[in-house]
Amino acid sequence: MRYKPNLMRDYLHSGWTSKRAGFTCEGTMIEPKQRQNPPSSGLRLMKNLTLASSHGAASCNLFRETRPWRALNEETANKTSASRANYDLKTDMKYALQCRLTFCSLAVCVAGCLWGTATVGAPPPISVPVSPEAFQTGQPEGSAATGLRAYLSGIPRSSYLLDDMWGFRSLLSRYGLSVALSETSEVLGNVTGGVKQGFDYDGLTQMVLQMDTQRAFNWYGGTFNVSALQIHGNNLSADNLLTLQTASGIEADRATRLWELWYQQKFGQEGRFDVKIGQQSLDQEFMVSQNALLFVNTMFGWPMLPSADLPGGGPAYPLSALGVRLRAHPMNAWTFLAGAFNGSPVTNNKGDPQQQNPSGTSFPLNGGALAIAGLQYAYPSLGSVVYANEREPLARVYKLGVWYDTETFPDQEIDNTGLSLANPSSTKIPRLHEGDFAIYAVLDQMIWQQGTELDRTINIFGRAMGTTLSDRNLVDFSLNAGLTFNEPFLHRDDDKFGVGMGYAHVSDRAAALDRDTGIYTGSSYPVRSGETFVEITYKYQLTPWCQLQPDFQYVFNPGGGIPNPSSSSKERVKDEAVIGLRTNIAF
């Protein structure tokens, strides 16, 4: 992974993007006196690099090749010419980079996050500025513009619409605080199929406040995070589609709610071990494919299986749960994650879970326990060396994990006396089972990189999750797969194109209940099997702080083949074509 100046943001060095590994980075330069290791011949040492992926942060040393300015200039041709004139190569040679990297989607992002039942997902990732340089307007050096004129002239280059918020962000930064605000708005509609056709608007405002304890009061390795959601608009999937795999990752009940509230502490000089404690949303770290977060459909964030099977859909957007998460980096390429959380994000598992905890402040601890563990392998890893004239390796990330929930789960077919729930003599009280589990695997793999434009890459991804316990689960297997193309058009560095699919298999026991219903009613009744969708999307970077994302989805066998409630003949809900447009704005 090579460092390339972000010329779109001029001489500020406020951030850069590496689409080769699906990372987004924002960073600031640190003084030479903070460096302990001089650059090696033909290599440069990047000190105190902080990697924050879907598996959090880890400080490390990363060597990467230094290349002449001429080569960098050729690679970034057609970028802001004023930036090139103001870029000082000597500064680049004197300074190291302290930065925060976050994996991009899925959602998160890219694209993504929710509901026809208790389906949950992951909202588009939000970038938190980590230093004043990350949010100051990209004014050319020596510019005399000030005040409103400076703000307006700098908007095309600023990473955030409100820039420094007229000094507010700089003031907070003095005390180690960073604030981020983003708005995701979209209009989606089905032009065919569903219970009816039409369009709905929905939107999500995300607010995040973070404190770096090192900057705040010289306490090493601590991060405090609090975030809130303001959810508005309607829910197309519930109104029109009745799908298992809902069309948008931000669909949820209207509310203003607390989302996450946690403290994370790193240990050791290289931060190879850290602990996070507090209210957490698991879709921010576990089970997530970075490349999948580009897409709009919910299931490219938090998977279908836990969305359908865990109480309340699991601790994922817009819900969260109290718990503890441990992370270790025993070797540079390997990361181990484990956590224990409340078994349900709500105190009462009956009814709409979002209505059970509408403000996000109930902090339930009365349920069972949800334990989850995962192992990740990433290459190139921290500490990898790329020599001059050597082609960069194709990035890859593999994950394997398991979760177990100790809550009680109702049977999908049988009541507490052993009769079918469809039997007129049934008590209608499902038999209860203790515990539930599933295993999952995730793959992110770069398969192509253009030799002369290293940001131009093609990546594939896949995620599968399954369980053998069909008696207590509506969905016993789910799959997501797809392809993403970074910079599909030359010099459109931040644009992305993607094609993806999702599949959810309805468990045999749930299908058996459908057959029982047909037998006991003496009529033809649809038997659910599985639901499949495909999605085609393009993310267009209008400005550094604004993205436009047209989207198309097609759903086969909606709901797994459920009967249309608007039809007296019990015919299935017909296949659906969904089109729409999403906008993301970083304030």
pLDDT in tens, 114-152: 333 445 556 888 778 776 666 655 555 545 456 677 777
Report whether 24 contacts 97 (CB < 8 A).
no
Entry pTM: 0.79
Q: Can you tell me the distance from the alpha carbon of 271 to that of 49, in angstroms, rounded to the nearest whole number?
A: 10
- What per-residue confidence (pLDDT) applies to 97? 31
Residues in the chain: 587
- What per-residue confidence (pLDDT) applies to 176? 95
3-state DSSP call for residue 328?
strand
In a domain, 545, yes or no: yes
Average pLDDT over every residue of 447-471: 96
In a domain, 172, yes or no: yes
Which of 11-25, 242-256, 313-327, 500-514 has the lowest average pLDDT? Answer: 11-25
The Cβ of residue 57 has, within 10 Å, a number of other Cβ atoms equal to 20
- Please give the share of the chain, as a percent, with pLDDT higher than 90: 65
Q: Does the pLDDT value for residue 210 go beyond 90?
A: yes
User: Phi, psi at residue 206, to the nearest 5°?
Assistant: -110, 135
Between the alpha carbon of residue 331 and those of residues 56, 100, 120, 149, 379, the distances in Å are 16, 20, 33, 50, 12
In a domain, 432, yes or no: yes
Band of residue 245 on the pLDDT scale cut at 50, 70, 90: very high
Q: Residue 553: CA atoms inside 13 Å, Cβ hemisphere, count?
A: 32
- What per-residue confidence (pLDDT) applies to 135? 60
Q: Can you tell me the distance from the alpha carbon of 250 to that of 124, in angstroms, rounded to the nearest whole number?
A: 8
Band of residue 459 on the pLDDT scale cut at 50, 70, 90: very high
What integer best gives the mean pLDDT of the chain? Answer: 81
Average pLDDT over every residue of 475-497: 97
Give Cα 322 distance to the centre of its chain: 20
Average pLDDT over every residue of 542-546: 95
Q: Can you tell me the distance from the alpha carbon of 484 to that of 287, in angstroms, rounded to the nearest whole number?
A: 19
- What per-residue confidence (pLDDT) applies to 84? 36
Tens-digit pLDDT profile for residues 281-301: 999 999 999 999 999 999 999
Band of residue 187 on the pLDDT scale cut at 50, 70, 90: very high
- What per-residue confidence (pLDDT) applies to 212? 97
Average pLDDT over every residue of 231-249: 97
Residue numbers of the domain that contains 381: 7-586
CATH number of domain containing 147: 2.40.160.180
3-state DSSP call for residue 510?
helix
Give Cα 366 distance to the centre of its chain: 28
Band of residue 101 on the pLDDT scale cut at 50, 70, 90: very low
Average pLDDT over every residue of 370-386: 89
- What per-residue confidence (pLDDT) applies to 519? 96
Q: Does the pLDDT value for residue 13 go beyond 50?
A: no
- What six digits make up the tokens of 546? 């604004």
- What per-residue confidence (pLDDT) applies to 131? 64
Residues with Cβ within 8 Å of residue 359, at least 6 apart in sequence: 255, 256, 257, 258
Between the alpha carbon of residue 367 and those of residues 28, 286, 586, the distances in Å are 44, 21, 37
In a domain, 2, yes or no: no
Q: Does the pLDDT value for residue 580 go beyond 70?
A: yes
- What per-residue confidence (pLDDT) applies to 120? 59
- What per-residue confidence (pLDDT) applies to 121? 58
Report whether 399 contacts 285 (CB < 8 A).
no
Band of residue 67 on the pLDDT scale cut at 50, 70, 90: very low
Q: What is the 3-state secondary structure (H, E, C) of 2-47?
A: CCCCCHHHHHHCCEEEECCCCEEEEEEEECHHHCCCCCCCCEEEEE
- DSSP class of 357: S
Band of residue 491 on the pLDDT scale cut at 50, 70, 90: very high
- What per-residue confidence (pLDDT) applies to 384? 76
Q: Does the pLDDT value for residue 199 go beyond 80?
A: yes
Q: Which of 55, 54, 531 is nearest to 304 (CA)?
A: 531
* Domains held by the chain: number: 1
- What per-residue confidence (pLDDT) applies to 448? 97
Q: Can you tell me the distance from the alpha carbon of 401 to that of 338, in angstroms, rounded to the nearest whole number?
A: 9
3-state DSSP call for residue 564?
coil
Band of residue 483 on the pLDDT scale cut at 50, 70, 90: very high
Q: Which of 560, 40, 112 is nearest to 316 (CA)?
A: 112
Q: Which range among 94-98, 158-162, 234-238 has the greatest average pLDDT?
A: 234-238
Q: Can you tell me the distance from the alpha carbon of 76 to that of 78, in angstroms, rounded to the nearest whole number?
A: 6
Between the alpha carbon of residue 291 and those of residues 390, 496, 517, the distances in Å are 25, 10, 41
- What per-residue confidence (pLDDT) applies to 42? 33
309 vs 148, higher pLDDT: 309
